[in-house]
Chains A and B, each alone.
Chain A
Amino acid sequence: QVTLKESGPGILQPSQTLSLTCSFSGFSLSTSGICVSWIRQPSGKGLEWLATICWEDSKGYNPSLKNRLTISKDTSNNQAFLKITSVDTADTAIYYCARSPYYSGYFDYWGQGVMVTVSS
C-alpha cells in the first residue's frame, strides 16, 4: 500500500525559507524509474508543479520559481524534501507530494497535502 504524507511549518514569515518533508511508504526511491514530485495549490485555485526528484538523483525544477527551489531525498528513511527560499504571500498554498512511476509524467499517488501560510 502506497502512502505519502507531507509535513511543514504551517505558518512562516515573508523572506524566510520553507522546508517541507514528504514521508512515504509502500515504495522506495531507490527503485528504478520511481520519482517523487512536489505540487502546490493556492486555496480555490489550480495546480502548479514545483519539482521532481528521481531514484538516480536526477532533478527537475519549475523555471517560474527560478533558483528558489531545492529538492532532495533520503532514500534510507523514505523521505523527500523541498526547500523554497525567500517566501512571499504568493507562496501560501497547500503543498502536495506525489509519486510518479516508471519516469512517467503523471502522478499516481498523492499525499493529503499540507497547508502553508506566509504571513507577517
Chain B
Amino acid sequence: DIQMTQSPTSLAASVGESVTITCLASEDIYGSLVWYQQKPGKSPQLLIYGATILEDGIPSRFSGSGSDTQYSLKINSLQPEDFASYYCQNGLSTPYTFGAGTKLELK
C-alpha cells in the first residue's frame, strides 16, 4: 500500500495569512494526488486533483503543486470559511489511501 504522510497535523493561522500543507507519498504517485477539505459534521469536499487541477467552483486562493512523492497545498489569503481539516489522498492505485489530515485552526 502507498502510505501518505501529511504535515503538519495542526496549524494555527490568521485570516489573510497564507499557509502550506505538505503530503509525502511512500512511492512515486506520478502526480495522482488529491486534496479534500472537510468541515466539522460535513462530508469531505474535493479541492484539487491531479496534484494541480482545481475542481470547479473552488476559489483560486487554493493551489496545489508537487510531483513524484512530494506534494503541497497552498492557501493564500485565508478566509474565515477555510478553517477546516484537509486531507491528501493517493489517487494512483488501490487501495486508495489518505493522509492523516491537517487541522487548520484560527489563531
Contact = CB atoms under 8 A, between A and B. Distances in A.
Interface of A: 37, 46-49, 52, 60, 62-64, 96, 104-108, 110-113
Contacts of B94: 49, 52, 60, 62, 105
A108 B93 CA distance: 17
A112 B41 CA distance: 9
Contacts of B89: 47, 105-106
Interface in B42-80: 42-46, 49, 55
A96 B98 contact: no
Interface residues of B, number: 25
Contacts, number: 60
Given A105-B32, A105-B34, A48 B98 contact: yes
B84 to A, nearest CB: 14
Interface of B: 1, 32, 34, 36, 42-46, 49, 55, 87, 89-101
B97 A49 contact: yes
A46 B100 contact: yes
Given A96-B43, A111-B43, A106 B98 contact: no
